[in-house]
Amino acid sequence: MKLTGAQAIIKALELEKVDIIFGYPGAAICPFYDSLLDSAITHVLTRNEQGAAHAASGYARVTGKTGVCVATSGPGATNLITGIATAYMDSIPMVAITGQVSSELIGRDVFQEADITGATAPFCKHNYLVKDAKALPRIIKEAFHIASTGRPGPVLIDIPIDVQNKEISFAYPESIDIKGYKPTYKGHSLQIRRIADAIAKAKAPVICAGGGVINANAAEELIKLAEKLRIPVTTTLMGIGAIPADHELSLGMLGSHGVYSANYALHNADLVIIMGARVADRAIGTASKIAEKAKIVHIDIDPAEIGKNIGTSIPVVGDVKLILKELLETAVKGNADEWMESIKRIKKEHPLKHRDGEEGVAVKPQYLLSMLSDMLDRDSIITTEVGQNQIWAANHFKVKKPRTFISSGGMGTMGYGLPAAVGAKFGAPRQKVVAVCGDGSFQMSMNELGTIKQHKLGVKIIIFNNSRLGMVRELQKNRYCGRYSQVFLEDNPDFVKLVEAYGFTGERIDSDSQVRDALGRFLADDRPYLLECIVDPEEPTL
């Protein structure tokens, strides 16, 4: 059939079963938007292109599908960069489509021209500058294949306006064979056998589950393996939800902002089984010391991650779900009963600390989040911003299911949580979606309240307001002798009046004694609601 390049893009998206895209129009992407009018694909107009990328990320993480975002050339495309980099660091499948100036003008610094393929090359799995409209069907097919296979990640397609307008004969490839791109899925059987042998001999094993477990939909296999072999499980920030927080073998999040029991297990284990994790500095800061006294198993679909940050005794490249299935068949329980007893004792002696509801002049975030997790069902979704609010949520909200804790890990992007909640709500419209924010991070993307209003999304918002950039203030207190620099937000707006201007309900509380009733009102229906919680500026992260 004869189609314009823009029509071909839409047709290809339909064939990829894309049902929703997030974006913001502009001149260089107008042919695409004109063709979109004839499609059943839902378009969500965010209030900033960065919001479109974060919303696509939230949608992808909740559904497991590839998120799609669209922007125009120049500043539209560059506004996507933070969202693309965030998706890259956290291995989120995303296809970003950008308009570009006409082909013959590229390189002349014309109006709204930016080299977006050059700018995003370091943090894309791949990107394309489309020079021939006839290549569009193949390129889009390849982009979705690359984004969603192997280690997932973002792919950008930059399309000049003349390419969008050019007529072509449309034929969509049935399959893709990309030379040099052949992800390994099946783990090496000999290496898996070595893992089984190491487990049988270990006296103090621990599993470290990362985001790769969730990406591979391998949580069920992980839990079965842990239960069969009686091995405790820690998670990274991205791995939260891989095992229910209330499971007897769950130790919580490890790392510099993690819980005592998780870090104790990691530092005293004789066998550490890392699954789908990058071994980042915030998760395993003393990697070399851990590797000196423990045998390290590292399972990852990306061979570049194995051995990058920690010495590995048994490396296995492949899909963690397939590898765990094979391990379930071959591995047998070792003699680690004494270890498990010590882990139980440590968990009991070092519980997460927070006061129960008390009268006072501030809300304890830990208390509120613990109560919130008790009041929500296991399918409810929580997104977070970055800072103290993120760590409070990671440690005190009891996540019970994969793909229900959505947060920016590797990039640590402030302004992520609210637009990610938008994407999550579109991905799971029947589930409660709660965005947990700090007063600083909320103001980085609060314009997406307009998106929530336009699309009548029942996104719930909690703001922990300490009138500070809390985590930076805490860092300056502990490491810079309390010399505070640019961390005060005393002139915050009235957040309740702000959401009322959008037609939403909001309320402010300043005491733990108000929490239960306020959360009842907050969760009463599926309409937008903002709960502002006044927090003591001195409230520590841990």
Which two structure tokens, joined as six digits, stand for 447? 């314009």
- In contact, 256 and 282? CB cutoff 8 Å: yes
Domain map (residue ranges) of the chain: 2-169, 189-349, 365-534
Q: Do the domains 365-534 and 2-169 match in fold?
A: yes
pLDDT tens-digit profile of 258-317?
999 999 999 999 999 999 998 887 777 676 778 788 999 999 999 999 989 889 999 999
Give yes or no for a contact between 21 and 70, defined as CB atoms under 8 angstroms apart. yes
Which residue type sits at 279? V
Query: Whose CA is closest to 236, among 260, 253, 217, 257?
Result: 253
Helix axes 49-63, 417-427, angle to 10 degrees: 50
User: CATH says 189-349 is which class?
Assistant: alpha beta
Point out the residues of the chain with pLDDT beneath 50: 357
pLDDT digits (tens, 9 = 90+) for 357-385: 456 679 999 999 999 999 999 999 999 99
pLDDT of residue 354: 67
Cα distances from 370 to residues 209, 251, 261, 357, 398, in angstroms, run 23, 16, 18, 11, 7
Q: Quick: pLDDT tens for 77-136.
A: 999 999 999 999 999 999 999 999 999 999 999 999 999 999 999 999 999 999 999 999
- Residue 500's CB is within 10 A of a number of other CB atoms, namely 13
**3-class secondary structure per residue, 467-491:** CECHHHHHHHHHHCCCCCCCCECCC
pLDDT of 358: 56
Q: What is the pLDDT of residue 359?
A: 64
The overall pTM is greater than 0.85: yes
CA 335 to chain centre: 36
What CATH architecture is 365-534?
3-Layer(aba) Sandwich (3.40)
- Residue for token digits 């052949």? 182
The CATH number of 2-169, from 3.40.50.970, 3.40.30.10, 3.30.365.10, 3.40.50.720, is 3.40.50.970
Q: What is the pLDDT of residue 356?
A: 55
d(C-alpha 62, C-alpha 527), whole Å: 20
| 439-469 core/surface letters (b: 16 or more CB in 10 A; e: else) | bbbbbbbbbbbebbeeeebebbbbbbbbbbb
Q: Going along 19-169, which residue ranges are E strands?
A: 20-23, 42-45, 67-71, 94-100, 126-129, 154-160, 167-169
212, 463, 457: which is closest to 320 by C-alpha?
212
Closest by CA position to 311, among listed 327, 289, 282: 289
Helices 189-201 and 320-330 cross at an angle (nearest 10°) of 60
